[in-house]
Amino acid sequence: MQTFVLVVHIILALLMIVLILVQHGKGADAGASFGGGGAATVFGASGSGNFLSRLTGILTALFFITSLTLAIFAKNQSNDAYSLKSVSTTQSVPATSPETSPVEPKSAE
């Protein structure tokens, strides 16, 4: 699931970069009034600004959601790495006392 969200996040980032670079700035309309031919657009007389701005806003919201989701995944992964759940429990064997030691003492000869 984390890989899927990461792939969607990267695709959204690339689409946002392309959309932001395609859009015209606010000052670009001033040049159209001096004969730039701004009325002949694909999106009608209002221009592509409204459509592209709305699409950029939607992609930004989706990018924000995927960023938060990836942050939650990273937090859960780091909590699991540092929790006591991952520590293996081993039972220690009690030390043998000298009375029950299997090793026999050396005799003095």
Measured between alpha carbons, how far is 52 from 54 in angstroms, rounded to an integer? 5
Q: Which residue has the tokens 């000298």?
A: 98
For residue 34, the model assigns a pLDDT of 59
State the Cα–Cα distance between residues 98 and 84, nearest whole angstrom: 36
The model's pTM: 0.58
23 pLDDT tier (thresholds 50, 70, 90): confident
Is the separation of the CB atoms in 5 and 66 below 8 Å? yes
Burial of 9 (0-12, 13-18, 19+ CB in 10 A): middle
For the stretch 47-81, pLDDT in tens is: 566 888 899 999 999 999 999 999 999 998 888 77
